[in-house]
Amino acid sequence: MLRVPVQNPDGSPAMPTKASRARRWVQEGKATAHWNDAGLYYVRLVAESSGGHTQKITIGCDPGKKYTGIAVQSANFTLYTAHLVLPFDRVKERLGSAVIKQGKIIKNVRGRALQRRARRGRKINRKVPFNQRAHRQKRFDNRKRKGKLPPSIRASREMEIRIITELSKVFPITMIVYELVKADVDLTSGRKGARSGKGFSPVMVGQNWCVKQLQSIAPVKTVYGWQKNNNGTSQIRRYLRLEKIKDKKAQVQKSHAVDGIALAASEFVRYGVTPRKNSDTWGWKGSVNITYCIFRVITRPAYFRRALHFDNAEKGGIRKRKGGTITPFNVRYGDKVMAEKSGKTYIGWVGGFTKTKTKNISVYDHNWKRVGQFSPKKVQLIRRSNKLCVV
């Protein structure tokens, strides 16, 4: 049975309630209905509740390079699950000058690094001697900065922190269970690397920074996915009979969210020893109930941020405007809208508009693939942009 999050009048989280009770509260005026950025419906009480007792609720986070699984679990109910599509590849492409895979350039990208090189080249007068050229002096030495995270990894970890922060506003979280990736040593080469011994995983970089950020929300417990004491993520998942598929790209609960459930459930069940009179016995201790719950797929809109203009000018030296969120209509890039065309209704996000005589609005799905172009009169605003696409 689904549970609806509840907030006290001051905005602090209370224990979730049944959907029928929350609906009755809203109808009777005892509560107001709201939606948060994580795609979760919740109610806020108008008057103080009679009892403020809360039970143990944990969040499980299974971070990855491109995808992350998150779940909220109590002893009796699974309250929420989410599949996060991280912006790792997109941020990496925009910052770099090319996408390289297995030593080959797949496609060139006009990233920030390439733009910076071209801009420096344009500012240098190569007709004068080298010692007289106007080279801009460096503002700082970026080779000595400690604790700096690559932008692609930082963006991924910040997306996880944002979703967990949104969940902590509607659930009384008592613990965050975060899975760590541990590098081993390739005995053949002596190099430290991932579990296959091929090199450090991008997931490892910044995971300690992420844990420190999460500690400001709730106490954080770190675990390894393959612990030898049967309390690892995979062992708990098998004990709870949670099926996991091998397709990591699949945007379903069985791809990554089940690991989040297993991590959250580790606070309620664990493999340990029970003392006996004759001999101690090993087995699973505690109990947890895995139930049907809400599942969300969360991505980031892929529109371009505002830049001054395109890199290359067109004929006549005209440089077109690049990026931004402004449109000639009452919607902006990233806004969630409902559009109608040929008797069919579509829900998506604004990602552009045509500049021809018949100006239309381009609507995209959560994977940022264009659904179609619609007349502005048939596009209705649902919600302003919060820089997340939730389905």
- The closest of 230, 226, 214, 225 to 175, measured between CA atoms, is 214
* pLDDT tens track for 199-248: 567 788 888 899 999 999 999 999 887 666 667 788 889 899 999 999 98
261 vs 265: CA distance, rounded Å: 6
Q: What is the DSSP letter of 342?
A: T
Question: What is the separation of C-alpha 76 from the centre of its chain, rounded to a whole number of angstroms?
Answer: 26
In this structure, whether the domain defined by 55-100+109-124+147-300 belongs to CATH 3.30.420.10 is answered with yes
Give the range among 113-122, 157-166, 184-193, 360-369 with minimum mean pLDDT: 184-193
- The closest of 290, 91, 246, 260 to 160, measured between CA atoms, is 260
226 vs 246: CA distance, rounded Å: 17
* pLDDT tens track for 311-335: 778 888 888 888 889 899 999 999 9
Do residues 27 and 11 touch, judged by C-beta distance below 8 A? no
**Total residues found in the chain within this entry:** 391
Q: CATH 2.30.30.520 in the chain, residues?
A: 302-391
Average pLDDT over residues 82-110: 71
Which is higher by pLDDT, 295 or 312? 295
* pLDDT tens track for 308-317: 887 778 888 8
Q: Please report, for residues 84, 246, 339, the alpha-carbon distance to residue 253 in angstroms, rounded to integers and kept in the order given.
A: 11, 12, 28
> How does residue 194 score in pLDDT terms, banded at 50, 70 and 90?
very low
- Strand locations in 166-253, DSSP E? 175-180, 184-186, 191-193, 220-224
Q: Output the pLDDT for position 30.
A: 94
Judged by DSSP in three states, 15 sits in strand
Q: What is the DSSP letter of 256?
A: I
Q: Output the pLDDT for position 74.
A: 96
> How does residue 9 score in pLDDT terms, banded at 50, 70 and 90?
very high
Specify the pTM: 0.85
Do residues 58 and 260 touch, judged by C-beta distance below 8 A? no
Ramachandran class of 246: left when φ > 0, alpha when ψ lies in -120 to 50, beta otherwise: alpha
* pLDDT tens track for 139-190: 667 666 666 788 899 999 999 999 999 999 999 999 999 999 876 544 444 4
> How does residue 110 score in pLDDT terms, banded at 50, 70 and 90?
low
Q: Output the pLDDT for position 132.
A: 81
CATH fold for domain 302-391: SH3 type barrels. (2.30.30)
Q: Is the pLDDT of residue 108 over 60?
A: no
Average pLDDT over residues 243-258: 93
Q: CATH 3.30.420.10 in the chain, residues?
A: 55-100+109-124+147-300
